[in-house]
Amino acid sequence: MGVGNRMKKQGPPPPLDESLVTRKRKNAPIQSNDNVKKRRTSAGRGEKSIKDVANRPGRSKLQESAKDSVANGRQTQAQGAKGRSKPKGGAKSHVRITAPVAEDVEDDSDLASDDADGIDDPDVMEDPLEGVIAGLDALDSDSADSLELGDDEFAASGSDVVDSDEEEQAPRQHSMWSEDEDEDSDAAAEKLTAANIAGLSQRLDESTQQEAREAQAELEDAALQTNIAAELPDSDDDAAGPKALLAPDLQLLRTRITETVRILTDFSKLADPSRSRSSYVSALLNDICVYYGYSPFLAQKLFSLFPPQEALAFFDANESPRPLVLRTNTLRTSRRLLAHALINRGVSLEPVGKWSKVGLQVFESGVPLGATPEYLAGHYILQAASSFLPVMALAPQEGERILDMASAPGGKATYAAALMRNTGCIFANDSNKQRAKALIGNIHRLGVKNTIVCNYSALEFPRVMGGFDRVMLDAPCSGTGVIAKDASVKTNKTEADFLRLPHLQKQLLLAAIDSVDHASKTGGYIVYSTCSVMVEENEQVVQYALNKRPNVRLVSTGLTFGKEGFASFMGKKFHPAMKDTRRYYPHAYNVDGFYVAKLKKIGPTTAGMTKVNESTGAKHVPALVNGGVDADVDKTPVEDEDEDEFGGFNKDEDEVYIERAKKKLLRRKGIDPKADKGAKNGISHGTDEVEKDVSASADIDDEEVPEPSVHVPKDEVAMELADKSSKETAAPELNGVQNTGDHAPGTSTKLRSKKEKRKLNGLGKKKVKSTGK
Ligand SMILES: C[S@@+](CC[C@H](N)C(=O)[O-])C[C@H]1O[C@@H](n2cnc3c(N)ncnc32)[C@H](O)[C@@H]1O
């Protein structure tokens, strides 16, 4: 299934063929092996993908069930084999005893060594893959003899290629089998005489038959239990109890899910009149949870987004990976040249679709795509196709000033840089310092030279800087659009997440709006995107922004495909223009689930727009934005998901800069900083005094100005940019200092002179001026 989807084109789809989806699902276990094999070939990513697949917890239920069914198959065989082990032993003994006695006794050791060969066959050992194939074939085989047992064991060890658990079991099975075999042959050797041969033979036959009967009864019993479980009433209360203990019959579940969906699609005609629609829906959700491994909470939420049939397609699509896509870095090469170079390396690829001029979809690769010379030279970046969309909607223009509020690891920011042909200036911000490092890496590799990396909570904008021509907010989100990549989303999202995240997203979007220059000659746009399909994180966030900021309106994204955003959802009415926003689904376009909205700022943010939000009690702190217009950023504390990671107020690191600032101040005052050391030994101008001095000047300021923490790319032009900035601002900290704005306001602000602060604050303003804004 995975391979199929990976081969499918991305973008506007052919109509969905549910029957194909159904069939694919049924074949899932075997195909998942195909996936693994396929992905092993697709380089760099390959190994990760295999691990990903193996480690996907949400997937695990299905896959484990699938594995179970394979394992069960093996187990059945193994049981059969075990059950057979005596019969086999018996059969072997039988073989032995049907042979002439003298030969039989003589051959005993030969047979034993044959058996050993069966296991230790050097060919088999040398070619474990053959073992896998033989093993997989053996799974379909009804008959089993000693040789098959050997194959089966190799199937187990061979399948270790896929699942390491089985690798550990393989030797154990081997030794158990050998011991049984040894005991049997010992017993046979002990008891076998010419006189008892007939009786013994008969007894062995009987015992074989008896065990076969028992094995059959066990199988029937298991099947019966599963079916009983499957037919239990589908009310909520049957989730626990005996049913939960039984392995789900996936085939049966699938059939039932499809059937329930069919009924729900034409309820009045097909439903059992004695059952309500909600009972069908709740039964269906139960089955979906078991079959796909979702928490009931998330299954219900996702289900409610679509008509039943489409919901099923969505759940199915989340079970297979999206195609691997490259974005050509047009700062370094053209798509044609890149395609040529990669094809020469044996990569099979095609343009991603007519909608993109830079995307290449990879079908097959014999080389690791994350380590080709072209990759290392920055000719491309591995980037999901849907990640192109917000940047295309933003449509940054050459020479503009752009803010990417949450930019790490930089797929979108670097695409924007390429569209701007390295002109203008992009401020690529991310609150997560570690992720910002990856962003810097990408900026260097891809030859981006118009970008400055900042490490703020984007909630700090526009106080840090305003007056941008365009702002992109690719917001932190629940990831419900990328379940195929991260199946843990299936189970780890709770109601609290869908309160916390939208709250953060709303505040970030207000900050994005307030950071834009409504009077920009070329822009004045904001793009909001998430890789979530939830209304709470998308339309509801945009609606909140429309309510809070009447100075923005929704405009067309300009994207050529995508489903309309919801103008209403579950009784909630949104602005009719919400239809101009775009939704992307894996089942519809074979891309990650995504949401894109584009807003145009048509007037300044006024004080009236920023009054306290009575309903939430949110406090609003005045913020300086372009043109001296006061705007608000809602400062209601929100739990930043990355707080722990980036909340680095690094005292040691800051100490250096604190010291430097102190010395600088002293020098300005005409005091030799070295003499300051003496102060500690009784000389008058002590550090404390200076500090007091600075804090006093800071207090005079009517607003606190956090220090911008800017990473500067080492590229020459970027260095120039940084130099210019640092000259403009006389802030030595600009060269590589990590500061944490919101996390260390006290110390850093305290140590800035008023003049310095003004200069710092003027960083944005100067730029605005220089571009005529
Ligand atoms: C969806 S990812 C961004 C992906 C990025 N736009 C790209 O194309 O590579 C969301 C990012 O938001 C960042 N983030 C979370 N909270 C933030 C905040 N308050 N301010 C700024 N960035 C934040 C996370 O660190 C994460 O890197």
DSSP state of 608: G
**CA 666 to chain CA mean position, Å:** 51
Domain boundary (629, 646, 663) is at: 646
Q: Which atom of ligand 1 is nearest to the CA of 638?
A: 19
Q: Tell me if 241 is assigned to some domain.
A: no
Q: Atom 10 in ligand 1: which residue has the minimum CA distance?
A: 476
pTM: 0.57
**Contact in structure between 359 and 353 (CB atoms under 8 Å):** yes
Give residue-wise pLDDT tens across range 543-597.
999 999 999 999 999 999 999 999 999 999 999 999 999 999 999 999 999 999 9
Cα(148)–Cα(77) distance, integer angstroms: 10
Return the C-alpha torsion angle 408, 565, 563, 307, nearest 10. 120
Are 125 and 166 in the same domain? Answer: yes
Task: Among 642, 644, 645, 709, name the best residue to mutate to test ligand 1's pocket (greatest count of ligand atoms within 8 A of Cβ).
Answer: 642
Do both 137 and 84 map to the same domain? yes
Give domain status of residue 641, yes or no.
yes
pLDDT at 214: 82
Cβ(582)–Cβ(595) below 8 Å: yes
* The two three-digit tokens of residue 262, written as one number: 């069919």
DSSP state of 247: P
Q: Is residue 477 part of a domain?
A: yes
Q: What is the pLDDT of residues 726-737, one digit of tens each?
A: 333 222 222 222
Average pLDDT, the chain: 67
Pair 542, 441 in one domain? yes
Give 536's pLDDT tier (boundaries 50, 70, 90): very high
Does the pLDDT at position 743 exceed 50?
no
**What's the pLDDT score for residue 672?**
74
478 or 67, greater pLDDT: 478
Are 391 and 522 found together in one domain? yes
The predicted structure's pLDDT at residue 298: 98
Of 229, 249, 273, the residue that ends a domain is: 229
In a domain, 29, yes or no: no
Mean pLDDT to the nearest integer, 678-705: 31
Whether 310 shows a pLDDT value over 80: the answer reads yes
Residues 43, 49: Cα–Cα separation, whole Å: 10
Q: Is 506 in the pocket of ligand 1 (CB under 6 A)?
A: no
Residues 459 and 576 in one domain: yes
> What CATH number has the domain bearing residue 444?
3.40.50.150
Closest by CA to 289, choosing from 58, 632, 16, is 58
DSSP β-bridge partners for residue 351: 360
Among 99-108, 472-481, 528-537, 756-765, where is mean pLDDT lowest?
A: 99-108
Q: 249 CB less than 6 Å from ligand 1? A: no
| Strands 380-382 vs 582-584: parallel, antiparallel or unpaired | unpaired
Query: Tell me, what's the pLDDT at 207?
Result: 83
| ipTM score for this prediction | 1.00
Task: Examine residue 28 and state whether it is found in any structural domain, yes or no.
Answer: no
Same domain, 690 and 631: no
Q: Is the predicted pLDDT of residue 510 greater than 90, yes or no? A: yes
Nearest to 188 by CA among 81, 79, 101: 101
Instruction: Show the tokens assigned to 475.
Output: 């917001």
Same domain, yes or no: 636 and 659: no
Highest mean pLDDT among 5-19, 110-124, 620-634, 741-755: 5-19
Residues 409 and 549 in one domain: yes
Domains contained in the chain, number: 3
Instruction: Please say if the pLDDT value at position 158 is more than 80.
Output: no
494/625 same-domain check: yes
Our answer to whether residue 289 is catalytic in this structure is no
State pLDDT tens for residues 613-660. 434 333 333 333 333 233 333 333 333 233 333 333 355 655 666 677
Give the residue, 552 or 684, on which the prediction is more confident. 552
User: Which of 14-23, 145-154, 214-223, 289-298 has the lowest average pLDDT?
Assistant: 145-154
**Domain presence at residue 25:** no
For residues 84 and 53, the answer to whether their CB atoms sit within 8 Å is no
Choose among 738, 717, 721: nearest CA to 729. 721
Residue 330, token pair as written in the block: 């047009």
Give the span between the Cα atoms of 404 and 410, in whole angstroms: 9
pLDDT-derived band at 681 (thresholds 50, 70, 90) equals very low
Instruction: Please report whether residue 287 resides in a domain.
Output: no
Could you say which DSSP state residue 361 is in?
Answer: E
Pocket test for ligand 1, best of 382, 404, 407 (most atoms within 8 A of CB): 407
Tokens coding 495: 């109601």
**Band (200; pLDDT cuts 50, 70, 90):** confident
Bridge-based pairing state of the strands 525-530 and 594-601: antiparallel
Q: Whose CA is nearest to atom 17 of ligand 1?
A: 431
User: In this structure, is residue 689 part of a structural domain?
Assistant: yes
Q: Give the Å distances, CA to CA, from 250 to 113, 264, 283.
A: 42, 21, 15
Angle (nearest 5°) at CA 67 between 133 and 158: 30
Amino acid 543 reads Q
- Distance of alpha carbon 65 from alpha carbon 71, whole angstroms: 9
pLDDT reported for residue 562? 98
Determine whether the shortest distance from the Cβ of 411 to ligand 1 is under 6 A. Answer: yes
Asked if residue 437 and residue 556 are part of one domain, the reply reads: yes
In percent, how much of the chain has pLDDT > 70?
A: 52
For residue range 292-306, list pLDDT tens digits in order: 999 999 999 999 999
DSSP assignment letter at 619: -
| Domain boundaries, position 700 | 651-770
Task: Give yes or no for a contact between 393 and 461, defined as CB atoms under 8 angstroms apart.
Answer: no
Can you say whether residue 654 is alpha, beta or left, with left for phi > 0 and alpha for psi between -120 and 50 degrees? alpha
Nearest to 331 by CA among 418, 439, 425, 436: 418
Average pLDDT over residues 179-185: 40
Alpha carbons 420 and 432: distance in angstroms, whole number: 25
Establish whether residue 741 lines the binding site of ligand 1, counting it when its CB lies within 6 angstroms of any ligand atom: no
451 CA distance to ligand 1 centroid (A)?
16
Least confident residue range of 107-121, 359-373, 665-679? 107-121
**pLDDT tens digits for range 330-387:** 999 999 999 999 999 999 999 999 999 999 999 999 999 999 999 999 999 999 999 9
Average pLDDT over residues 498-502: 97
Burial 387-414 (b: 16+ CB within 10 A, else e): bbbbbbbbbbbeebbbbbbbbbbbbbbb
Calpha distance 117→129 (Å, rounded): 18
Q: How many Å is the Cα radius of gyration of the chain?
A: 34
Residues 667 and 627 reside in one and the same domain: no
Nearest-atom number in ligand 1 for the CA of 387 is 8
Averaged pLDDT, 490-509 = 97
389 C-beta closer than 6 A to ligand 1: no
**Same domain? 481 vs 440:** yes
Report the separation in Å between the CA atom of 683 and the middle of ligand 1, taken as the mean of its atom positions.
Answer: 49
- Residue 703 and residue 601: Cα distance in Å, rounded? 25
Residue ending a domain, among 646, 674, 702, is 646
